[in-house]
Amino acid sequence: MNYNLDREGLVEALECKDPAFNKALLEDAYKVKVASIGPVVYLRGLIEISNICSKNCLYCGIRRDIHCPRYELTDEQVLQAAAMAAQRRFGSVVIQGGERKDKAFVAKITRLVKAIKAIDTGDDPPLGITLSLGEQPREVYDEWFDAGAHRYLLRIETSNPDLYRKIHPNDDNHSYDRRLKALEDLKAAGYQAGTGAMIGMPYQTAADMADDLLFYKSFGAPMIGMGPYNPHPDTPLTHSGAQFPSDDERFMLGLKMIALLRLLMPDINIAAATALEVLNPRGRELGIMAGANVFMPNITPSEEMVKYNLYDRKTILKDCPSVGKDDNHICKNCVFPFCSMGENMREGKIVVGYGQWGDSKAALREKSLKKL
Ligand code: SAH
Ligand code: SF4
């Protein structure tokens, strides 16, 4: 099928409720992915380092003002998880957590990035490291880059400044302009700067989502991590009673956003977000079949993982065999989620790229252009 990928065409595709159109869109995006970068899916072991956060985003279940048990992984826990990622040949890890600017935390990340780089990976390159730790001063981004991190994920959350204002407290600590500036700083510091937005939020229109896709393109993002908005029962956004699309609608929107982005930017990395899995047990697999090529097995120790409640993850964690086990237990279901993808793997539709950093073709092209 031919797709009109200008703003109007994107809005129309996002609003379309015709199952035949939607099915064809997802299938076509998968084909474009395979033609452009192949069926390979890269892994990033996700380490949720802490749910302590200095910010108060109105949608987030670990925002500063929520009363919930807080944790911070020890160096040993982080390094144990990273060693497991190396042993399983994941190729890279993501360290994600609440936004903190205190000196001790900044120094801890520097120390950990260096230590993860020193982990023996056998014949593979050292583990690649992506950070996702919010807005930081440029010097901090430089310090972590020099320590060995090379990718950073900072979602813009929405490319519409008015909507940004509605879903954040109205203060200097939550400013759209500062978020954008942080993304520019990350690029200038040398990172592959990834971004993304939530999908199906209160007040968000199809035109907003189309603009998000166009924003990714104009920013030249080499990687995108976007996923459905999922409500958390104790946040101001949930308490506001503002309406948003149903679970099924948000799930389909999540898949269609991946598909349309793949058509717009055929050779970038697109993650199949965990938020998809909340809405459908095969959510991330279906994300991959709609054009995503990055998968993040969660390797946070189970006892702490249950406290990293950005949103309600009950549907994922209800059958978790590890919850309640000892502190450093890492859930096998989280580490081997591919068991459930057997058929698509047997047929070669999903091929796992073990032992590689898995930088996007777009990022590698950019790097070679810079060298010229
Ligand atoms: N503190 C860092 C990284 C951790 S939060 C930051 O904010 O950049 C990671 C992502 O979780 C955020 O970017 C946001 O898009 C997502 N998130 C938070 N609350 C969510 C919710 N209720 N539904 C879906 N995604 C959510
Ligand atoms: Fe903190 Fe990130 Fe949640 Fe905002 S989205 S409150 S910065 S963890």
Tens of pLDDT, residue by residue over 301-327, are 988 988 999 998 766 665 555 555 555
Decide if 79 is inside a domain: yes
CATH of the domain at 344: 3.20.20.70
Residue range(s) defining the domain that contains residue 25: 7-371
* 23 found inside a domain: yes
Ligand 1 binding pocket mutation candidate from 310, 312, 315 (most atoms within 8 A of CB): 310
132, pLDDT greater than 90:
yes
Q: How far is the CA of 60 from the centre of ligand 1 (A)?
A: 6
Minimal-distance CA residue to ligand 2 atom 6: 63
**Is 27 inside a domain boundary?**
yes
For residue 269, being part of any structural domain is answered with yes
In a domain, 342, yes or no: yes
Give the total number of structural domains in the chain.
Answer: 1
Residue 274 located in a structural domain = yes
Q: Name the residue at shortest CA distance from atom 12 of ligand 1.
A: 155
| Domain assignment of residue 1, yes or no | no
Ligand 2 atom closest to the Cα of residue 134 is 7
Over 70: is that where the pLDDT of 122 sits? yes
Rounded Cα–Cα distance for residues 199 and 168 (Å): 16
Q: Examine residue 2 and state whether it is found in any structural domain, yes or no.
A: no
- The pLDDT tens digits for 267-277 are 999 999 999 99
pLDDT, tens only, 174-195: 999 999 999 999 999 999 999 9
Residue 328 pLDDT level (bands cut at 50, 70, 90) = low
Distance 245 CA to ligand 2 centre (A): 22
- What is the rounded average pLDDT for all residues in the chain? 93
User: How many whole angstroms from 1 Cα to the centroid of ligand 1?
Assistant: 34
pTM of the model: 0.95
State the pLDDT at residue 245. 98
Residue nearest to ligand 1 atom 13, measured at CA: 155
In ligand 2, which atom is closest to the CA atom of 61? 3
